[in-house]
Amino acid sequence: MRVLDGRQIGAMLDWESTIGLVAQAMRLVSENQTIAPLRWGMHMPGGMLGMMPGFIERPACFGIKVVNIMPANEGTPYSSHSGCMLLFDAEHGQPLAMLDAGVITARRTAAASALATDLLARQDAQVLALVGSGEQAAAHAEALCAVRNFQEIRVCFRDTARAPDFFAGLQLPDGVALAAFGDTRAALDGADVVCAVTSSPTPVIDEHMLAPGMHLNLVGACTRDRQEITTAALPRCRYFLDARASAWDQAGELCAGLEQGLISDSFPRGEIGEVLLGTLGGRRQHGDITVYRSLGVAAQDLVVAHYLYERAVQDNLGTEIPF
């Protein structure tokens, strides 16, 4: 069994490769080539222990990711998402690898948003707004620059004094202007692409902040009792999912919108994998407001983990443990 730490994983996952791996995973999801029980979490003081098991047919493997979600870690030396992923071969059930789940989660989540942005956002998008300033915000800033030539990136901080340190840690193309905001409405005014990557239990984006032509990635709220956008905003949007089953169980705004009668069960256009496969159209008009609802699916973790395992074996990386 190979053991790979976060530093080794980060060195192997450039954004172009990771976006391609996530695209592979989303095709598998929409082709029904995966098994993915709903994510289960144990709530506890200070956070949640989340478990995501899954199986994919190509490459044939299965595994489980165990992640500790600790919101209070934001702004500290500790990641808000940390844990381990175990990867097994599908034929004999033998353990292949144990990997740093925090780095995999950060990279594949941002890569999924970048993939959706590439498929749904306007080609001429120039201004990116990030609502949130944690680890996922940094990963999204870098990942989305791999699919669009942004001229400006705006970041919403609860404390704008953190902006210099946050900006200093980013690896972005030359010439991208950076701006710190304390007000979400101001940050979204004139933005072409928006990523909500917060731990807020209540909406940070409302219907009055939306503008024709905007694309949004909703990422931070991962349980049905949380939502980053108001339900009143939904009818204005062309809304896409990573996976139907998890969205209807865990996307707070989707569940609330249906309960309130603001939307019907046919409101989501479909899965992003269907757009990739060409069976579903994405943006139809320049003025469409598109939304990608990211909850994360086990197939993303498995495709990335198997790639890392194969690279590690090929290049003799990580630590080999007899099992």
Sole residue written with tokens 């202007």 = 177
**Element spanning 99, H or E:** strand 95-100
End-to-end CA distance of the chain: 6
- What are the angstrom distances between the C-alpha of 303 and each of 56, 96, 216? 8, 13, 25
Q: Identify which of 320, 35, 308, 294 has the alpha carbon closest to the alpha carbon of residue 140.
A: 294
Q: What are the tokens at 82?
A: 């940390």
pLDDT at residue 273, as a whole number: 98
Cβ-contact 200, 228 below 8 angstroms: yes
Q: Report residues of the chain scoring pLDDT below 50.
A: none
* Peptide bond preceding 37 in cis form (omega within 30 of 0): no
pLDDT at residue 235, as a whole number: 97
- What are the angstrom distances between the C-alpha of 227 and each of 26, 205, 223? 23, 9, 8
Which domains are assigned to the chain? 2-105+298-320 (3.30.1780.10), 120-293 (3.40.50.720)
Q: How many helices (H) and strands (E) does the chain have?
A: 10, 16
The residues, any chain, with a CB within 8 Å of residue 3's CB and separated by 6 or more, are 97, 98, 99, 318, 319, 320, 321
Strands 47-57 and 34-35: antiparallel
For the segment 33-48, what is each residue's pLDDT rounded down to a tens digit?
999 999 998 989 988 8
pTM for this prediction: 0.95
46-61 burial code (b ≥16 CB/10 A, e <16): ebeebebbbbbeeeeb
pLDDT at residue 185, as a whole number: 98
For the segment 21-30, what is each residue's pLDDT rounded down to a tens digit?
999 999 999 9
The upper half-sphere exposure of residue 321, i.e. CA atoms within 13 Å in the direction of its Cβ, equals: 13
pLDDT at residue 74, as a whole number: 73
Q: Identify which of 151, 199, 157, 194 has the alpha carbon closest to the alpha carbon of residue 175.
A: 151
Q: Identify which of 87, 98, 30 has the alpha carbon closest to the alpha carbon of residue 62.
A: 87
pLDDT at residue 79, as a whole number: 81
